Amino acid sequence: MLLFLIVVMGCAALRGNVLRRDMVAWGVAVLVEDPASAREVVEDVALAVEREFVGPLDLEKWRIAKRRAREEALEAPEASLEIASRLLEATGDRYTRLVAPEVASQLLLKYARGEEASTGVVLGEESPRVVAGPSPLSVGDRIVEVDGTPVTRSDDAAQLLRAGAPGTRVAVGLAGGRTVSIERTAVREVEVTEQRSGSVAVRVRDFSLLTPELLEAAIGGAERASLDLRANGGGAFEGGLEAAALFVRRGTPLATVVEGPNGVRRTLRVADRDGPFARLPLFLLVDAGTASAAEVFAGALQSAGRATLVGTSRTYGKARVQRVVDIPGGGLLLVSRARYEVGGIDLTGRGLTPDLEISAPSR
């Protein structure tokens, strides 16, 4: 197996079940036909978890689940990936999961670029449910299929919606049998939305390795700034931390990363100089869709006393980093191998509380 590290999106759409029986439409009977190969898939998945998972892992529960998975793989080799996905449920971590091949390539390419194709659709937290977007979609529409591929997780739906060049169209199947066609358009990761009287408002849709450079250019010589992180599902943690370093002084602790089964801890600090905006008055707009790298970015600045968080609710609450392992057929195994803490607090399951809570606008 090819083993490498990638930081994956932790968007609010990640809530929901681990890969379920009705999701495994990978043609696994073709990929894995004999019991020995099927057991190898299960063993590879188990080994990756035992080497990488940040835990805590219930060892007795895991031992029983692994034994059952081995037995099932010998009895039903054509269902090896489904069996492996059930094994992952024993970790108790909804972010440790399998990703289908049609989604995997988009996941791997996502974070090196600052512009991507988008339908403008924002997916909800519990299921592939549209909460905002252009016509012909309506608030509350539930996505069940993208370009003929069934989806039950909204992060998978989001990746498939983006899997095409700007100007191409995507067929979106909705609950109830209706199908609509949406054109993909180019959207920018960082965009100035308003600029006047020394103030700048910037929309940050995602975090990649390009974000710090884009953000520095967007703010320029402004005297004060507000960054809109609403519905920002995260992205690359490195990009989020480097972006936070723009706004703090030398030596400021940004976050603590806890890694691997032994829980090794490292505090990440700004290294050698003050950030260019270390004294810039800063407001961050957040909501329940602010997640993952966006939460670490916001939490680091809130903890350092460098930004005021303004929002209608707590942020989503996900600060996990996944190790990515190739599996047969082009799919991926994501294993939570690290977590980020801000101000000594693990954000997963907690989120950030705004300093200034405001009411949601009436529709």
Check pLDDT > 90 for residue 7. no
Does residue 245 contact residue 270 with C-beta atoms inside 8 Å? yes
Nearest to 57 by CA among 205, 229, 261, 213: 261
Beta-carbon contacts of 96 under 8 Å, excluding residues fewer than 6 positions away, are: 18, 49, 53, 88, 322, 334, 335, 336
Q: Kindly state whether residues 149 and 259 are assigned to the same domain.
A: no
Number of domains in the chain: 3
Percentage of residues in the chain having pLDDT higher than 70? 75
pLDDT at 118: 39
The last residue of one of the domains, among 93, 124, 142, is 93
> Where is the domain boundary, 40, 60, 93?
93
Residue 153 — pLDDT band, cuts 50, 70, 90?
A: low
Q: Please, is 302 exposed, middle or buried when counting C-beta atoms within 10 Å of its C-beta (0-12, 13-18, 19+)?
A: buried
With 70 as the cut, is the pLDDT of residue 117 above it? no
The answer to whether position 227 is within a domain reads yes
| CATH code of the domain containing 175 | 2.30.42.10
The reply to whether 334 falls in a domain is yes
Q: Which of 186, 202, 229 is the last residue of a domain?
A: 186
Q: What separation in angstroms does the CA of 54 have from each of 282, 341, 349?
A: 34, 13, 16
Residues 216, 353: one domain?
yes
- Asked whether residue 102 is assigned to any structural domain, the reply reads no
252 in the same domain as 227: yes
Instruction: Tell me which of 86-90, 130-134, 197-201, 256-260 is least confident.
Output: 130-134
133 and 60 both lie in a single domain:
no
Q: Write down the residue that tokens 């681990």 correspond to.
A: 18
- 267 and 309 in a single domain? The answer is yes
Q: How many CA atoms lie within 13 A of 288 on its CB side?
A: 12
Higher pLDDT, 196 or 56: 196
Statement to judge: residues 275 and 296 lie in one domain: yes
Can you give the residue range of the structural domain that contains 293?
189-357
Q: Is residue 59 part of a domain?
A: yes
The average pLDDT across 42-49 equals 91
Residues 168 and 219 grouped into a single domain: no
Residues 231 and 274 in one domain: yes
> Residue 320 maps to which CATH number?
3.90.226.10
Q: Which two tokens stand for residue 211?
A: 């974000």
336 and 301 within one domain: yes
C-alpha atoms less than 13 angstroms from C-alpha of 103 in its C-beta half-sphere: 27
CA distance 115 to 357: 31
Closest alpha carbon to 273 in 299, 252, 254, 255? 252
Query: Does 260 fall in a domain?
Result: yes
Do 262 and 324 sit in the same domain of this protein? yes
**What is the mean pLDDT of the segment spanning 307-330?**
86
Under the banding of pLDDT at 50, 70 and 90, the label for residue 103 is low
The verdict on 181 and 306 lying in the same domain is no
